[in-house]
Amino acid sequence: MLFNYIKIALRNLWKHKTFALVNVIGMSVAFASCLLLFLAAWSHLTFDNFHANGEQLYMIYQQSGPKEKSATMPAPLTPALRQDLLPEIAHITRVVDGGGAVRYRDQEFEKSIRFVDPDFFEMFSFPLRKGHSLTVLNSLSSIVISEKTAQSIFGTADPVGKTLSLRVGESWKPFVVSGVVADAPTNSSLKFDMLARFEAYPEYQQNKDQWDNRFHSVFIQVDRKTSQAAFEKRLRPFVAKYFAGNIRNLKRDGGQPDENGDLTSLRLLPLADLHFDTEIGGGNGSPVKRSYPILLLVVAGFIVLIACINFINLSTARSMTRSREVGMRKVLGALKQQLVFQFWGEAFILCLLSLVLGSLLVLGLVSELNNILKTKASLSYLTSPGVLISMGVVFLLITFVAGGYPALFVARLNTIQILKGRVSLGKTGAVRNTLLIVQFAIATFLIACTLIAWQQVTFLRNMPLGFNENQVISIPVGNSVNGRQVLKLFRDKLAQQPRVLSVTGAYKNFGRGLDGSTVTSIVGFEHKNKVVRSHWQPIDYDYLKTLDIKLLAGRDFSRKYATDTTTSVIINETMAKELGEKNPVGTLLNVNDGEPPLVVIGVVKDYHHESLKKTVQPNTLLMNQEWPIGYVLVKIAPDNVPATMAVLKRAWEDVAPKSEFQGSFLDENTDRQYQSEEQMAKLFITAAGVAIVLSCMGLFAIAIMIMAQRTKEIGVRKVLGASVASIVALLSKDFLKLVLVGIVIASPLAWWLMNQWLQEYAFKIDIEWWVFALAGLLAIVIAFVTVSFHSIKTALMNPVKSLKTE
């Protein structure tokens, strides 16, 4: 019996190849899109979920007032927590990035080195391939390396016991390899090539007792009997004890308390939320809002829904052509459940074939997906038993939804009416129209969201930043060389190059360069009995000249003044307002106790040194030689850029042969700040395109069915003198009405969602009415072209032939 059902199903599908092909293509694309978006979403949703103690792991952060948060902590915090809160703390570790210059024999390598406390391996599930978690970091000269690092440095030799040299400050220090750890998974917020003791960090000794210098993260594993809320409550007296001076300053400056009434507090961020916290989280990776993977899944659901609507409409419409078959089966004794099973079986075969084809598409497109959405999706996610079971359940649900309704509709047809040829769609026409409205509402919604998202991305990229980002190249110095020495040598090397207009250096970059790193340094100090906080940007000569930053008052740094490299600073307009000085030039700033005050020698016009998601913050430029130079900035002439880049690369290889040349233009770096926005826009574009294609496929096939049912009517109208244009308008208007209803439903939803999204930005576009008019017009034009193609063909038919059609 089952074999007979399958044979009949295959025959029917072959007989109606056009509709079968439309369904298979539509469902294949839908399944492929759904699987790809699921992989992308899953790569985010599974971040940091591999740690055995994950539910007890947190990162400590400080909150001052309702909004200000900081994840960097002072070095003495961890020992104080161990001493005061030992019963509630199972394990605790500090984590700081210490650069990456490594030497073994006569070779040098760039590696990611993290300095941590010994509890690190007891807290996090990074399996040790060699060594024991309790002993590998017992010594201050011990170092643990990843499997990949071991392979790149030592090849097949056993690395344990061998000595490496790490660049610590300006000198090289020996470390003995005490263990080998498995490579961190791609969905880990903590990534590293090497791990050493926190006390071996170059700046540890000078900061180990300093509560006002924050430079590292703190991760904690609380006792299983202690909840997050209970531990945060226990932290309140701890904060009152160790942050008393900070609290006094906040009271004096009129600081606002948070929802708990605290001016400042220490709180816990669950490790599972680290990847989704865009303010303080992210770890090594780029943080995303938790709504982003959910958006991916919602878009996947939209695409599958459109494909299911197509399937239902086409199956229901095609079932009318099989009404006599159904009638004969009923007369011959076929039961209702047998008919349902037969028609559902055909739907199941189509869906199964579509799933197979869709899976093949996924195999070829997963790498492209990672490139477009900047994810690390892997096909290995699909091998998880839980995922496989969930996919099976969803697949069966889709086949029941897509194939179940048409099957029930056919099985309920009246046998006598069928055999008399009086079958009517009845309520099916209303259901079909409702489903078409839903289809085009989704398509219009995605088009409108695409237009708004792309507008915002374009606005962010084109907004003047207050400095020259064109023809300025940023070169990361790296950790193998001294930045200030390299800058001097590089400047001298390029002094006779006519296409090199100026060379300077800075501690931090603009945007995100090819090295992928970002640095933020904020310094707070008292001025006129209030705390002033400012971004701190150490620079070198010709910084304002290279970036065309406008000087409003005072002067630039000059080689004529020896004090410019020690006690002189230049501030921006916002910083000048923060100081509250009418004429800030000459103002003394007492930043560090016991050291000479800094003198403001100039004021520059505000420029955006951070993402446009934030307003311009106070910024201070200084030439202090104790701060390193992390980036060399070169302004070049606009002519023959490739040749100039080649000159820069050769010069860099001469002055810094151990540091890779990673030069990139500042406009490219600032663009990289908005990768998430661009990914969202690309997602909407792709989803809208797929939605439109699938909707048009379904609309086209439905139009064919409707035109076939109205062929005789069209013949009569032509005989009575109707023009081709009037017939096309008549046949198209019913479909266009449905599209208009979909537009009316989709527009306010798109406006509300995108308006909420835009609230994240300090600088944003205004949503204009024409966006929804354009989205609706696109949907109408696409629907009209789809329907009119067959409408025109039907209207041009010979009326004699039309009147003979039954």
What are the distances in angstroms from CA 609 to CA 286, 549, 552, 616, 619? 19, 11, 17, 8, 8
Q: Is 667 left (phi over 0), alpha (psi -120 to 50) or beta?
A: alpha
Contacts for 325 with CB less than 8 Å, ≥ 6 apart: none
585 contacts 671 by C-beta, under 8 angstroms: no
Please give the structure tokens belonging to residue 165. 């040299």
* Boundary (domain end) residue, out of 625, 658, 691: 658
Mean pLDDT by 10 residues, the chain (806 residues): 58 66 80 85 87 92 78 88 86 85 84 91 93 88 93 91 83 90 89 92 83 84 90 90 80 71 88 83 65 84 83 68 60 64 74 84 80 73 79 80 67 57 53 79 87 86 82 80 84 86 86 65 77 85 90 90 87 90 86 83 89 84 84 87 86 80 82 73 79 77 67 69 72 81 90 86 86 88 77 64 54
23 contacts 309 by C-beta, under 8 angstroms: no
HEC assignment per residue over 702-753: HHHHHHHHCHHHHHHHHHCCCCHHHHHHHHHHHHHHHHHHHHHHHHHHHHHH
Alpha carbons 672 and 359: distance in angstroms, whole number: 32
394 contacts 382 by C-beta, under 8 angstroms: no
Alpha carbons 538 and 399: distance in angstroms, whole number: 63
Alpha carbons 287 and 603: distance in angstroms, whole number: 34
The answer to the question of residue 407 being in a domain is no
The answer to the question of residue 305 being in a domain is no
* Boundary (domain end) residue, out of 276, 291, 323: 276
What are the distances in angstroms from CA 11 to CA 249, 342, 346, 692, 788? 83, 12, 10, 31, 31
pTM: 0.74
Which residues, listed in sequence order, are joined to residue 70 by a DSSP beta bridge? 62
Q: What is the DSSP letter of 628?
A: P
Contacts for 310 with CB less than 8 Å, ≥ 6 apart: 22, 23, 26, 439, 694, 695, 697, 698, 701
Please give the structure tokens belonging to residue 196. 């050493």
* Boundary (domain end) residue, out of 237, 252, 276: 276
Alpha carbons 664 and 641: distance in angstroms, whole number: 12
Q: Taking Cα atoms as reference points, which of 521, 629, 617 lies closest to residue 565?
A: 629
The answer to the question of residue 140 being in a domain is yes
What's the structural domain count of the chain? 2
Torsion angle in degrees (nearest 10) through CA of 549, 624, 673, 755: -70
Q: Taking Cα atoms as reference points, which of 220, 235, 245 lies closest to residue 265?
A: 235
Task: Characterize the bridge pairing of strands 530-538 and 522-527.
Answer: antiparallel
Task: Characterize the bridge pairing of strands 568-572 and 588-589.
Answer: unpaired
Domain that holds residue 155: 54-276
| Per-residue pLDDT, 704 | 67
The answer to the question of residue 387 being in a domain is no
Q: Taking Cα atoms as reference points, which of 313, 325, 317, 315 lies closest to residue 415?
A: 325
Alpha carbons 355 and 28: distance in angstroms, whole number: 6
What backbone phi and psi angles, to 5 degrees, belong to 700? Answer: -60, -45
Alpha carbons 52 and 57: distance in angstroms, whole number: 10
Alpha carbons 781 and 525: distance in angstroms, whole number: 62
Alpha carbons 380 and 91: distance in angstroms, whole number: 32
Please give the structure tokens belonging to residue 240. 């009152």
Q: How big is the chain, counted in residues?
A: 806
Can you list the positions of beta strands (E) in 154-223? 163-168, 171-181, 194-197, 214-222
For tokens 């009147």, the residue is 803
Alpha carbons 502 and 525: distance in angstroms, whole number: 33
Q: Is 401 exposed, middle or buried (0-12, 13-18, 19+ CB in 10 A)?
A: middle
HEC assignment per residue over 564-584: HHCCEEEEEHHHHHHHCCCCC
The answer to the question of residue 192 being in a domain is yes
Rg (CA), the chain: 34
Alpha carbons 70 and 452: distance in angstroms, whole number: 32
For tokens 């039907």, the residue is 794
Contacts for 683 with CB less than 8 Å, ≥ 6 apart: 295, 296, 299, 373
DSSP 508-565: S-SS--TT------EEEEEETTEEEEEEEEEB-TTHHHHHTPPEEEE----TT-GGGG
- Distinct helix (H) and strand (E) counts, the chain: 24, 25
The answer to the question of residue 239 being in a domain is yes
The answer to the question of residue 290 being in a domain is no
DSSP 39-91: HHHHHHHTTTTT-TTGGGEEEEEEEETTTEEE--EETTHHHHHHHHSGGGEEE
| Amino acid code (one letter) for 438 | V
| Per-residue pLDDT, 603 | 93
The answer to the question of residue 677 being in a domain is no
Please give the structure tokens belonging to residue 234. 């226990």
